[in-house]
Each structure stands twice: as structure tokens, then as C-alpha cells.
Amino acid sequence: MGTSLGPRPLDDTVAALRSTRVLGSLDDGVLRSIAEAAEWEMVEAGEAVCEQGAPADALYLLISGRLSVVTTTEHGIERMVGHVYPGEPVGEMALLSDERRSATVRALRDSVLLRLDQSDFRQLIPQHPAALLALNRLLIERLHDLLQGRRSKVLERVIAVVPACPGAPVRALSTRLTELPGARRLRVIDATHVREALGTATIGPLGPHDRVASWLEAQEATGDTLLLVGDAEDEAWTRRCLRHADRILFVGVGTASPGGLPWSEVIANRTDTHARRRRDLALVHPDDAVAPSPAGPWLDTLDVDLHHHVRLGVRPDIKRLRRFICGEAVGLSLSGGAARGLAHLGVLRALEELQVPVDFVCGTSMGAIVGSQLALGLSAAAARASTKRGFGSWKIFDWTLPVTSACGGRWFEAHLRATFGDRGVEDLWLPFRCVSASLIRAQPVVHRRGPVWRAVLASSALPGVFPPIVEGDDLLADGVLLDNLPVHHAVEAGCGHIIAVNVINTLDTTMASGMVLPSEPLQRLAERLLPGAGRRTPGLTDYVLRSFFLPTLRDIEGIRRKSDLYIEPPVNQFHYLDVRPFDEIVEVGYGAARERLAAWLAQSPSVPRR
């Protein structure tokens, strides 16, 4: 799998073992015994260290670089399950259990490992049981994290900042990123720094043991996050940046076209598909731009995980990109809930007042309606005023002949068109996702591109109330049916702090409180029109909509585990389709969010502020 690097001085191997998390505390005698049996190997970016299903033939210790851990289902679907960082072991579970490898481990970047063959491992363990105890401790720790459902924090120390078109301001953007304060120190390194430090005019051959790679590893050991800045005129250095990085940030000019560079094949396609390094795109726009230039042509060409619209002179844009790079971005996930979802507007106000930035938004139904306005760049007050114009009166319910739905949805659509115009989801200032449900394929549909108004309309097309949206050969309905609180999109976006707001309370006793169901149809109608004292019957809409939300409520514990802060405003007293208490619902959301956010911020000083 890897390439042997040949023998190294024993003291170097002992020092490398001492740097590892699992064996670093062992005494010198044990480390020297292990070092005598260990072999040095290099694994290039994208290459496998071990394959799922293969026999367990060795234990590996990562010395430098970074690895990804991927499992493959019987249907061939790959799932990223974790990362391996310097100092951590690989393959210890299969070796200890004498089973086949449970996952495939690949190099995200050029990596150096120490390999200990199975036969040597079995000879050393009886002689040095402390090593086995150290491995067992690590296994127990990993199992505990798995059982607790903890979200692993991805630590990316080396970022390649590479031009994606001629004239891309990679150096200016990198400099702006380093000028801002943050928990992690960013440092720019370009080809000039390397040449001055090493006294060489050329970068030299690729590989982790030439002088350039050794120098870069030494810089990484300082603990700084390195921004390796590529150069459109220096292909050798830029390709080195791409190979040495944990993450790639392509930089483009919003009004330009991608490509036209020697490494355009890397821009257009992932060369490390199995390793799955994160790839981002920063599109730079003029400081006075009111709306971003269309990102569609760029996304048609580039294969990236996330794209960002930035203006070099607009501080919040640069701070947002910095938070993403450093793993400190704040993601906000908003649930559907019809009129109860108006509470999200109060959440936006609380976030604004407490100076908590939002860097990524995802939502369903009313959560999509509110979240999309935040992503558009509206303040909490402006989003509230806009939502009240569109949804603060009975105009939203334009009743029609109930063939497909009770309402025609014309007022709803007209309001969304007026709010967003022809803006695309991909052209909002904040990264945004919303979810609808495919009635044909019985699958959730994630809206990443296309007109915002249409995406939000589909996400909010409540069955029976509004008509479904025709999309090609598909019919799209409200996302509440399949994914009412899409927290996992914030996880996939790499957000380090995730806030989930659920307006569908887990326990809703109001529907049955003091309830007596009349036995006869006419009696039921009378009770609805002239409610008797002490008797309450559930409304048809409350009854049906509560049923829609049950799938999400069943997964609420999983949603909590994926979130750093879970907020559930007490909105049970409001009917799902009653928009008349608009202001009251908003204030309930504000009060609940303000209290929960203040407590969270007091306990979590690492949460960024504006």
C-alpha cells in the first residue's frame, strides 16, 4: 500500500513514537523495542493505507499528514466515519480482535507512518503489556464517543489557497484572513517564504522527505494554521500546496470564468475522491456589490463542498470565511411548524442582540421561509417585517376548489417572488439549504441551486393546504414529511457550532387536554362551532399536521446529539394555521432563544461573536 522509506536512525524513530498519542507515555525501553521493529512508510495523497475487508497484517502510527476513514455498505455507498491525525494509530482494532479490516483508510495528503507488522506486534505485547493497555484505553475512548453520538471535530491545520482563474486575489484574501483575531492563529506561507528559508531557487521534487516538505512539517508543528498560498505563475509550488494541504480553498473572481490555469484539471475534478478532502470556493466580489454575481457557471465547472461569496473590504464576509476555515462556523437549523414557525423570527432577534453570527442556514417549511431571508442578508427586524407582509394575515390562505389542495398558493408564490426576485439559492450571501419531499421517489430533496422563491415554495407546500410543485417528472411537497429539522446539513457544511430550533414540541399535551370526542358527526360539528364548557375537540388541521411531524419527533435525540444548542420554544398553545397571534408567537420564540443562548454562551466561551 505505502512506499518504504528505508531505515532511519533509531533515535529518530523513538522520538516519533514518543510524539504519538497512544504510546507517548511509555518508558524509553519499551519505545526502543518497538522502534527496532517499526518501518517507515510514505503514503501519497489519495492512496490507501488499508482496505475494508482485508486481513489485519499490521498496526500503523501516523507521524505526519492526515488520513480519512471510510466504510462501504453492501450496496457500494461510501460513508466518511472519521479522520486520523498525527500521533494516532490505525488498524489496532482489527489487529487486537484478529478480524478483517472494518474500514478503508486513505491519505488525505502526503503522509508518513510507522508500520509494525502483526508478527512483531504479537511478540512485543507479552513483553510490554503497558503498550496493550494504552491501545485498550484508546479503543474504550473511541467506543464511548461512538455510543454518546459525539460529533468529531475536524482539525485542519494546512489550507491550500489556490487561484481558480487568472487574476484571483489569493494573496490579498489570505492576508485579510490573517489580520482578523480568532482562537487559531493563521499564517501565510508562499513560495517566496520557502525559497528564502531554504536558500533555494526551485521548489524541487514532490515527496514528504525533501527539504521543502520537511520545512513545511516543521512550520505545522508550531501549532499555527498554515495558509499555503498558490501562485498562477508557479505551477510546481501550487501543486505542492495542493498535495500538502488538509483542505483546499479555491479563489475566483465573481465576474470571471473558472479555469485557464495549469492545474485546471484539479479544479474541475477531485483527484482524491476516496480521501474526500474538503474543497471550498471563495468568489470575490466588489466591496459595493449589493448581490453576488451568479455562481452557477463556477459550480458547473468546479466540484466543491461549499462556496462562499466574499467582499475583501467587508469585514463580516472575511470573518465568516475565517470561521469556516478554522472550524468555528455557526450553523443554524430551523424546523417547519406552520404558524408556530414564526417563533424563528424571535430567534433571529435574540442571535442578533447577543452578537452571535450565523454562517450557514438550513431549514424546512417555515424554517426555510425565515432562514432564506437571513441568508439573503436581511436583519432580524427586516425579516420580521417581510414575513408579516406575506404571512401575517389570512390572505395567505387563498381558498380554492379543493381538488388538489384547499388553497391555490398564488398569494404565497407572489410574496416569495417579490422577496427574492430571480436570486438563486447559490447566490445568497450566506450558504443556504432547504428541504422538500419527493412524492414520486419518497425521498428528501435538498435545494442547493435554482430560484430561491421556488425552492422555498416547494419546501413549504404543505399537503392538503397548498398544491405540490411540479419539478420535471417529480412532485415536491413540504419537507416536514421526511426531514423537518435538517441539522445534518450544517454538520456536512463543516460548522463547528450548531444551533437547532424545533417549534414542534416533543410533548404536546394541549391537543388532548380536557378532551372529549363526541360520538355523532353532528355533535362533533356542533362542538367545533359552539364548544361546550370543559370540552375540547382537536381541530382537523392540528390533528393532521401533528401526524406529519411524528417522524422528526422520533429522531429528536439524534438531532440533539448533532447540535451544540437545541432550542424548543413553548408554542404548543398556538394553532398550526392561525397566523393572527403573529407578534405573540415571535415574542415566545425570542424569550426562549434569549434565555437558552445566554446560558450556552456563558458555558461555551469558544462560541464566536460578531
Q: Which residues are catalytic?
A: 365, 478
Q: How far apart are CA 327 and CA 329, in angstroms?
A: 6
Question: Residue 138 corresponds to which cell in the numbers above?
Answer: 484508546
Sheet with 89-90, strands from edge to edge, namely 3-4, 39-43, 111-117, 58-64, 89-90
CB 259 within 8 A of CB 165: yes
Secondary structure string (H, E, C) spanning 254-273: CCCCCCCCCCHHHHHCCCCC
The radius of gyration of the chain from alpha carbons, rounded to an integer in Å, stands at 28
Q: What DSSP assignment string belongs to 167-194?
A: T--HHHHHHHHHHS--SS-EEEE-HHHH
Whose grid coordinates read 382537536?
538
Whose grid coordinates read 508518513?
112
Cα 165 to the center of its chain, rounded Å = 26
3-state secondary structure of 2: coil
Q: How far apart are CA 380 and CA 383, in angstroms?
A: 5
Q: How far apart are CA 333 and CA 556, in angstroms?
A: 13
Q: How far apart are CA 537 and CA 514, in angstroms?
A: 9
Question: Residue 37 corresponds to which cell in the numbers above?
Answer: 521493529
The amino acid present at 56, given as its one-letter code, is: A
DSSP secondary structure letter of residue 76? S
Closest by CA position to 86, among listed 59, 121, 113, 116: 113
Q: How far apart are CA 513 and CA 538, in angstroms?
A: 10
Q: E-strand spans in 179-259?
A: 186-189, 225-229, 247-253
**21: alpha, beta or left? (left if phi > 0; alpha if psi -120 to 50):** alpha
Burial of residue 472, with CB atoms counted within 10 A of its CB: 0-12 exposed, 13-18 middle, 19 or more buried? exposed
CB 236 within 8 A of CB 212: no
Q: How far apart are CA 239 and CA 231, in angstroms?
A: 10
